[in-house]
Amino acid sequence: MRRFALVDRYDGYMTLVKYLSIPAVIVAIGAIYWFLSYEAAGTAMLVIFGVAMALMGWVLVPTFGDVGPTAPVDPEWHERDS
């Protein structure tokens, strides 16, 4: 029983790492871009995009497994009948 809880935590952790690695790479590209070009606008856009993507992933990744309530289905309704 304890082993499955460890697997579930590992799976959730790896999913989070997978989705947060993309923004980390974008921020790293922004830093490399700054040192190669010293161009502030492009660096700022890359870094802000990476931070925004990381924030979105940090908030949304834990909700991937959630299934919200669904509306009841009316068996007599059809989209072409209206």
1-47 confidence digits (pLDDT tens): 445 444 467 776 777 778 888 889 999 999 999 999 999 999 999 99
Per-residue pLDDT, averaged over 69-82, amounts to 71
What is the pLDDT, as a whole number, of residue 28? Answer: 92
Which residues, other chains included, contact 62 with Cβ-Cβ below 8 Å and sequence gap of 6+?
12, 16
Q: Which is higher by pLDDT, 58 or 22?
A: 22
Q: Which is higher by pLDDT, 45 or 62?
A: 45
Domain boundaries, the chain: 2-63
Reported pTM: 0.60
* Residues 33, 43: Cα–Cα separation, whole Å: 6
Per-residue pLDDT, averaged over 51-70, amounts to 78
